[in-house]
Structure 1
Amino acid sequence: MRIAGYIEHPVLKITIFQMENKLAVKLEAGLFEQTYKFRTGSQVSGVEDIRRLVDDSFITAALEEMSRMRSIREAALSRLAPEGEEDEFEDII
């Protein structure tokens, strides 16, 4: 797998990868990432096709999904915290 290119975006780091018979696009924002893989063929045959595919609608949907991922992560972390424990410092005298 090699990096075939990047797509500029103010919020996301978007990287295009090329493999034998596949192309992948990875979107990263902080702790979260999504990767979409495509077999090369009639609809997607190169980097320029991926650039056209990752349009405003695609990016908006990916950002909404990352928001859901963030909510899932926060909910899981809150379930992990022991009940009644607060994030306060001990009193220092």
Structure 2
Amino acid sequence: MRIAGYIEHPVLKITIFQMENKLSVKLESGLFEQTYKFRTGEQINTVEDIRKLVDDTFIAAVLEEMGRMRSIRSAGLARFGPEEEEEEFEEIL
């Protein structure tokens, strides 16, 4: 797999990868990432096709999904709960 290009965006890091008969686009924002993979012949055959695919509508959907991912992560961490702090001294009765 090799990097075939980048798509400039003010919020996301967008990288296009190419490997034999596959193209993929990875969109990253902080701790979150989404990758979409395509076999050539599925209407996506070139890096330029990926650039056309990743339009404002596509990016808006990705950002919305990343918002859901953040919520899922936060809810999971909240259920996990904070670690209980150990008391410095044993209680003597």
TM more than 0.5 = yes
The superposition leaves residues 15-65 of structure 1 with CA deviations (integer Å, 9 ceiling, x where unpaired) of: 000011100000000000000001101611110000000000000000000
Size of the aligned set, in residue pairs, is 85
- TM-score, scaled to structure 2: 0.87
The alpha-carbon deviation at position 82 of structure 1 amounts to 4.7
- TM-score, scaled to structure 1: 0.87
Which residue number corresponds to residue 89 of structure 2?
none
Alpha-carbon distance in 1 for matches of 2:16, 2:75: 31
CA RMSD of aligned residues (A): 1.6
Q: Which runs of 5+ in 2 are unaligned?
A: 86-93
Which residue number corresponds to residue 35 of structure 1?
35
Higher Rg of the two aligned structures? 2
Which residue number corresponds to residue 88 of structure 2?
none
Q: Which amino acid aligns with 2:25?
A: V
Which residue number corresponds to residue 46 of structure 1?
46
Question: How high is the sequence identity, in percent, across the aligned residues?
Answer: 81
